[in-house]
Structure 1
């Protein structure tokens, strides 16, 4: 992780690498190194999704449903408004158009939705629930109610509710995208920092660029 952030290899800190520093500083440096070596944000998010989606998928299977968790945002959007275009579904579901396009394609194969060209514009497709998809709604809603209860239990166990943290993170990234933050972090890493030089005997320390 450190090598990725700084572009240099960082040896594991020990007494030889910290030199004459105190034992307390050596321990602090070691702990910092261990923290930075832990799983990155992307890995943690993927693992979180695996834990959540995996359990939800198992719950659907236990109910005898051949249904993927990724279908739910589209199903909910169609319950609120149908027929709908891919763009409308993306806005209603709060996900990207490519994600909606891929999800709708899978749902079409499983017969949960139907799609037809919009009158006057063959490039636009109108998506609606199929009879099979509509018949599935009562059983899905029962599963969603149980999932909401489990999510509430999880929130109650955490110092800050996960749903609240995720909402805040989404708003922050919508205001300033992660790509912008990465570019700013790279710029900071490239900016030389001022470090004090060794002071001359009886003189004041001079500042030089790293």
Structure 2
């Protein structure tokens, strides 16, 4: 039986993220792959709000909040209240800054491996993902599901009408 899109995507993420996480572990690093977009954003921005991190990293604000909270527990970032009290300002901790050279080396190796995977495929995975993200930004998957349900319901109703 052919797996559904969600199952395929989860399996792909497991295959990719699991091996990336193992590389960090093998190198003696207590570091999760999900930290990378936030680490890169903070390296560039130095100090940023959760919203700025989310925008720079290309992730949702709830994902940025969850990731920053985990990173704080792991000592990679410090979080302080912003000027208005509601906003939280995040920056790399000394530990986070100290890890950066090792992380950048590992990120370069990961990118080289991803480029190798892309070269092995008939269509580069990164290109397909870019295309899919763009299409879903134009028309979210929820809208597509609703439209499909409406078409299926209409088809079902039409077929029932023909049988009577």
Coarse TM-score class (shorter-chain normalised): over 0.9
Report the Cα offset of residue 127 of structure 1: 0.2
Give the alignment partner of residue 151 of structure 2, picking from 188, 192, 204: 188
Deviations 1:50-90 (A, max 9, x none): 00000000111111111000000000000110210000000
Report the Cα offset of residue 149 of structure 1: 0.6
Count residues in correspondence.
161
The equivalent of 1:126 in structure 2 is 89
Structure with the largest fraction of helix: 2
Pair member with larger Rg: 1
Contact 1:114 / 1:128 at 8 angstroms: preserved in 2? yes
Q: Give the SS at the match of 1:160.
A: coil
The within-5 A match list for 1:51-130 is: 51-119=15-83, 121-130=84-93
Distance in 2 (alpha carbons) for counterparts of 1:142 and 1:63: 11
Distance in 1 (alpha carbons) for counterparts of 2:46 and 2:150: 47
4+ long deviations beyond 6 Å: none
Structure 2 unaligned blocks of 5 or more: none
The equivalent of 2:117 in structure 1 is 154
Structure 1 unaligned blocks of 5 or more: 1-36, 196-207
Give the alignment partner of residue 144 of structure 1, picking from 88, 107, 115: 107
Distance in 1 (alpha carbons) for counterparts of 2:108 and 2:155: 54
Contact 1:117 / 1:126 at 8 angstroms: preserved in 2? yes
Contact 1:83 / 1:128 at 8 angstroms: preserved in 2? yes
Distance in 2 (alpha carbons) for counterparts of 1:129 and 1:59: 22
Q: Give the SS at the match of 1:123.
A: coil
The equivalent of 2:162 in structure 1 is 209
Q: TM-score, normalised by structure 1?
A: 0.74
Q: What is the alpha-carbon root mean square deviation over aligned residues? A: 1.2
